[in-house]
Amino acid sequence: MNSKLIAPSVLAADFANLQRDIEMVNESDADWFHIDIMDGVFVPNISFGMPVLEAISKHAKKTIDVHLMIVDPDRYIKTFANLGSNILTVHYEACTHLHRTLQAIKAEGMKAGVALNPHTNINVLEDTINDIDLVCIMSVNPGFGGQSFIENTYSKVKQLKELITRKNASTRIEIDGGVTNKNAKALVDAGADVLVAGSYVFKSTNQLETIKDLKLIANS
């Protein structure tokens, strides 16, 4: 059974031909579209936002997993729901009222996620883990594609898995950054449920095969 999921990150796709790349993902063994929204204030890069997501939604036939790397995400929760987001993930470091933000996301009918920067410890989720559908562990610093995987990630995944088990939560663990066929198995073994892959997929010569391979490894 293939319970481990693959989420290609559109950040690494060809922005001149998104329809083509989205249709490739539609036809692939991938499970989700991972969508990185960056505002140039929370992170030092502006990726893309609402009009691009609208174009993606029109063609995408799989779960749309939106990762907001923006300040004060509460302002745009309704907007992202209207644009077709199925999962909306906010950064712990950007939320003064995280519990309220999570409830607001769910009230719009989306799954609620929390992303943690590489330096942020799992223990900050102690009081909200039962309200979180997805924790996105950043395994590189958010802002750019193509960075190297941070090894400390394994330890974070294990701690998070332990927290989820201890609290009897049903939260999924997503890994974002530097995922390849080299570390996919170890990440899954540590507890990961969803693997985001950007450059590794879109810069490969055979994208469908790369996804298929990653999916097999993750579920082996």
Distance CA 93, CA 72 (A): 10
Distance CA 12, CA 207 (A): 12
Least CB distance to its own copies at residue 19 (A): 4
Residues 6+ apart with CB under 8 A from 85: 35, 53, 64, 65, 66, 110
Q: Known catalytic residue: 131?
A: no
Identified catalytic residue from 31, 133, 176, 193: 176
Binding residue per annotation — 14? Answer: no
Residue 59 is inside which H or E element, if any?
A: helix 50-59
**Type of residue at 145:** G
For 137, half-sphere exposure in the C-beta direction (CA atoms, 13 angstrom radius) is 34
Distance CA 129, CA 75 (A): 23
Least CB distance to its own copies at residue 110 (A): 18
Least CB distance to its own copies at residue 16 (A): 4
Binding residue per annotation — 149? Answer: no
**Type of residue at 122:** I
Least CB distance to its own copies at residue 11 (A): 7
Question: Site residues (CB under 8 A) for its own copies?
Answer: 11, 14-19, 22, 37-52, 54-56, 58-59, 70-71, 74-76, 93-100, 103, 117-121, 123-124, 126-128, 130, 141-143, 145, 150, 152, 155-156
Identified catalytic residue from 31, 36, 39, 193: 36
Identity of the residue, 115 or 218, whose beta carbon is nearer to its own copies in the bound complex: 115
Q: Known catalytic residue: 36?
A: yes
Binding-site residues sit at 9, 34, 36, 67, 143-146, 176-178, 198-199
Active site residues: 36, 176
